[in-house]
Structure 1
Amino acid sequence: MKITLVKKILADGSPCAKCRDVQQKLEEQDFLRFVDQTLIADVRDEQSAGMQIARQYAVERAPFFLVEEEGQQPQIYTVYFKLVKEVLQKKMEA
């Protein structure tokens, strides 16, 4: 399983507030170790890796998580608590 976190950088160059909050929760709950990759969706650069992934999966909210498991369609999570319940807690228990 590969988990990618996509965070947004706003037009003024600052990180989005929700992205900061989710990052902090990941660190506090010791879930950040399960995130394999973090990409930045910089709204000032349409070619940034995060913007490309957001377009590819038609995601308009940030932050979001892309969860890829071999042999399955990638899952997109735009709600942190749903990701925790369905993915991260299970990884913690394993």
Structure 2
Amino acid sequence: MIRKFITKAQDWADGKLRRLAGRISPDMRVAIILVMLAAFGALSVYMTVSSIYRIGRNDGKELGIEHIRHLQLPNDSIINPFESGRHGTGGEVE
């Protein structure tokens, strides 16, 4: 049922667009296409330039930079398993 509705809506829009475009002369179609191309191109350039311009602007706020803190590892770490008293060995490595 929804698919039939969507198909009807597409056919209706296609028919309206074809009737509207059929009334326009070929020279006018080219002019409309060129105007739309210029408008969308200008919009694209504006969005790109404004995005590049706004990079790094945080309304006066600066990024907080701090030193890396020392990572606290648990006592049962496996980084140095040959240390005495760990992992049940209880002795030194020879």
Q: If the length of structure 2 is used for normalisation, what is the TM-score?
A: 0.21
User: Greater relative contact order (Cα 8 A, min sep 6): structure 1 or 2?
Assistant: 1
| Structure with greater strand percent | 1
Larger Rg: 2
